[in-house]
A and B are shown apart, each in its own frame.
Chain A
Amino acid sequence: MAEHLIEVKNLKQYFNVGKSSEVRAIDDISFSIKRGETFGLVGESGCGKSTTGRTMIRLYDATAGQVLYDGLDVHAPKSQSENQTLNRKMQMIFQDPYASLNPRMKVLDIIAEGLDIHGLVKTKKERKERVIELLETVGLNREHAERYPHEFSGGQRQRIGIARALAVDPEFIIADEPISALDVSIQAQVVNLLKELQEEKGLTYLFIAHDLSMVKYISDRIGVMYFGKLVEMAPADELYRNPMHAYTKSLLSAIPLPDPIYERSRVRHPYNPKDHQYGPDEKVEFREIAPEHFVLCSEKEFKEMQAARM
């Protein structure tokens, strides 16, 4: 058993390759996630966070690079049974609780979809019992099984989505902005549920979000993405205490706090990629500034940052 459950190596995801409209949604990123850890992925809209998650779970075929799950390349061609096992081990929670549940299906059938596909239950009765068990795990009632998604609130729907993902007993869950469409009071509910489930079942999360305070709360380590590139990666506390990359600093300066005195003096640092002024022969790489703290920088910047840390 490797220490890292997930290893992403030089992953690239381009759309419309070779055309003038080519989009480099993910441009050569590498990171790894340890077993039982929560890895947060933050960045602004359109920076490739969701694409990263979707490529990892094979909703897209990667343009280049590898995603290793427990040493197994998920994008390589595999046998039917290997594919099935991988589908069970990796699951996803989606962003929009209003679009992620089929409006024509009962909650029972939505949650049981994974059970049916993988043949995890033998009888109708067992199927229903398992669904009710899952509903109760996520804090819903047994009577909810016979209802349709439109009868639920956003938070309840999101919990149904979580129950669906849990149905196949996954080890790794990609949570693609699971709370961004929810009310703040409900956000805490869902995040706490995710944390509880992690402790109970030893789950590993990739938590994608743009709400920095929530990411800090749930994540062990955080990666910051900017335009398809990972610009900084560090343990959560370290990232918040010592942001190194200019973009991370800018991102952190944008967090509002419910404190009028602090807010009056808060200065936002806008980020302009041109400020780096990289020379043509400078190598911009992911460099380890402190243990476990990586920053995308040039040799010159690397030295400056290290000096600043001292």
Chain B
Amino acid sequence: MRNEFEHEQLPQEEFERITIDSDQAERIEKPSLSFWQDAWLRLRKNKAAVVSVVVLLLFLILALIGPHLNGHAGDAQNLRHANLPPKIPGIEKMGIFDGVGNLAGKKVDLYEMKKVDEYYWFGTDGLGRDLFTRLWLGTQVSLFIAFVAAAIDMVIGVAYGGISGYYGGRTDDIMQRIVEILIGIPTLVVVILMIMIMDPGIMAIIIAISITGWIGMSRIVRAQTLKYKSQEFVLASRTLGSKDGKIITKHLLPNMLGIIIINTMFTIPNAIFFEAFLSFIGIGLQAPDASLGTLINDGYKVMEHQPYMLLFPALVISILMIAFNLIGDGLRDALDPKMKD
């Protein structure tokens, strides 16, 4: 019987002898990418994060130039122009932002009634101050507080956590007990006490936010330091004779940078939120300074009659929070794709 699996004889001349080039054996085809290039490629693919970056940049620019756009000063009071609804040139003909507001239950063009020729894009408040200007002034202050607080958190947190983790032993014991005591006190109590001692203002809020805010960062950095300091590449560096400073700057920090950035990106929206919260309950920024929190506080009091006073700052703070969180998420996926930390 014929074997049905029998192969056809392959012709000898179809084969060609090749030799292995040992140089080629070790070659790597892929282009070389550094960690940061790789992370950038991944971040670019994340649409939500990219959109958030664009939105955030837009808000940053607006916060910087917004207060100078329409010629009204943020603290100029004009009682004749008080409580005007938004009116924007161009859009007014479409039936929105046309200066029509409620007066004793009837819809009236308040600009016409009060004989106001100017345009207040986002309306005015009870003292006749331009809300568009105040909104971006407020955003400026809120962002400033958030960035400074996050930067302070980062510096103190990284230094504290790094020292505690790197030197270990008794130093670590003492430093961690201090942190445990600090974290045992409710944040709000510390903050309120701080603000009562100091003059209310931007500095007071920044200090209040920073005073306990760095603890989270310090714990993360300590854990990372503990993880990396016993890694073999650090030991190798030590056997080569590296000093502590070099090990920290060349080996530990570059490896921790990703998680530090991610954590900072989540600290910023928290700081914005906390500042708004403090201003909202009345222990934050004091009049006539504006922040998103004070604007929301003002708007919420007249929510029923002049909803626009609440709407714009609320929108800005919401969009800011979402954008920062989405960027933070995107960065985490980009910098720590295996979710190891």
- Residues of A with Cβ closer than 8 Å to B? 54, 57-59, 83-84, 87-88, 90-92, 94-96, 99-106, 110, 113-114, 117-118, 139-141, 143-144, 146-148, 151-152, 156, 161, 164-165, 168
Contact = CB atoms under 8 A, between A and B. Distances in A.
Interface of B: 23, 26-28, 30, 32-35, 231-233, 235-242, 246, 250-251, 254-255
In the A-B complex, the 5 residue pairs with the closest CB atoms:
A87-B241, A100-B232, A104-B254, A94-B232, A102-B233
Given A148-B34, A156-B26, A99 B240 contact: no
Contacts of B241: 83-84, 87-88, 114, 117-118
A88 B240 CA distance: 7
B26 A99 contact: no
Contacts of A95: 232
Contacts of A118: 240-241
Contacts of B240: 87, 91, 113-114, 117-118, 164, 168
A144 B255 contact: no
A120 B183 CA distance: 49
Contact of B255 (A92, A102, A146, A161): A102
18 contacts: A57-B239, A59-B239, A88-B241, A90-B239, A92-B236, A92-B239, A95-B232, A102-B254, A105-B250, A113-B237, A113-B240, A117-B246, A139-B26, A146-B32, A147-B32, A152-B28, A161-B236, A164-B240
Pick from B235, B237, B239 the residue with the most CB of A within 10 Å: B239
Contacts of B242: 113, 117
Given A95-B232, A99-B232, A113-B242, A104 B26 contact: no
Nearest to B255: A104
A218 B23 CA distance: 27
A95 B27 CA distance: 24
- Chain B interface mostly helix, strand, loop or mixed? helix
A176 to B, nearest CB: 9
A141 B28 CA distance: 10
A40 B35 CA distance: 38
A94 B235 contact: yes
Given A103-B255, A144-B26, A147-B28, A96 B232 contact: yes
Contacts of B235: 54, 59, 92, 94
Contacts of A106: 34
Contacts of B246: 117
A87 B26 CA distance: 31
A100 B236 contact: yes
Contacts of B30: 151
Contact of A141 (B27, B238, B251): B27
Contacts of B238: 59
Contact of B239 (A91, A96, A143, A148): A91
Contacts of B251: 102
A145 to B, nearest CB: 10
A45 to B, nearest CB: 17
B26 A140 contact: yes
Nearest to A155: B26
Contacts of A90: 239
A117 B32 CA distance: 26
Pick from B33, B236, B238 the residue with the most CB of A within 10 Å: B236
Contacts of A99: 231-233
A54 B234 CA distance: 13
Nearest to A100: B232
Contacts of A57: 239
Nearest to B234: A102
Nearest to B32: A147
